[in-house]
Amino acid sequence: MESLQEKFYIAKKEIDIDLAVFAADILDIMDTLDHSAKCWEEKIEDLLVLARYCVNLQACDFQKHCEDIVKDLDDKRHELPMGTLKQLHTRMLFILTRGTRLLQFHKEAGSQDGPSLEKVQHYLRGVPSFERAWLEREKKLKSDASENHNRKD
């Protein structure tokens, strides 16, 4: 299995691409702001600065700080009224939580050298699966049909 650092490096590349698109969208929004929305301009600029900061962080530094960045951004988002600014915060959170989800999975899996296969399998067995339930029902139906057929003979 890949190490956490390798997985995080790959995730960071994807996050950087999404943040670059996000930053371009923020610039477009700032260009179209009317005078009544200028009061939000500073907060929108803060998001742009944060997006650029995250892109400029090395993967190892981002790994150390991403949970704090996400927590702070989420706290700010909760204080906002519904609207474009809150949507922008939510979008950025969605992008950044890719890193925190990877870290959380790693913590839940146990060791710092990589999740053990047994723990991953145990975790996956606990996830409900429609397909698995359907296959188990199908096996039972076939078994019942076979028993009924054998009784008729």
- Per-residue pLDDT tens digits for 49-67: 999 999 998 888 888 888 8
For residue 35, give the DSSP letter: G
37, 66 in Cβ contact below 8 A?
no
Residue 23 and residue 38: Cα distance in Å, rounded?
18
The predicted structure's pLDDT at residue 12: 84
Q: Which residues contact 76 (CB under 8 A, 6 or more apart)?
A: 89
Neighbours of 133 (CB within 10 A): 10
For residue 128, give the DSSP letter: -
For the chain, list residues with pLDDT below 50. 1, 112-114, 128-132
What is the total residue count of the chain? 153
The predicted structure's pLDDT at residue 112: 46
Q: Domain locations in the chain?
A: 4-115, 116-153
Helix axes 84-109, 4-32, angle to 10 degrees: 180
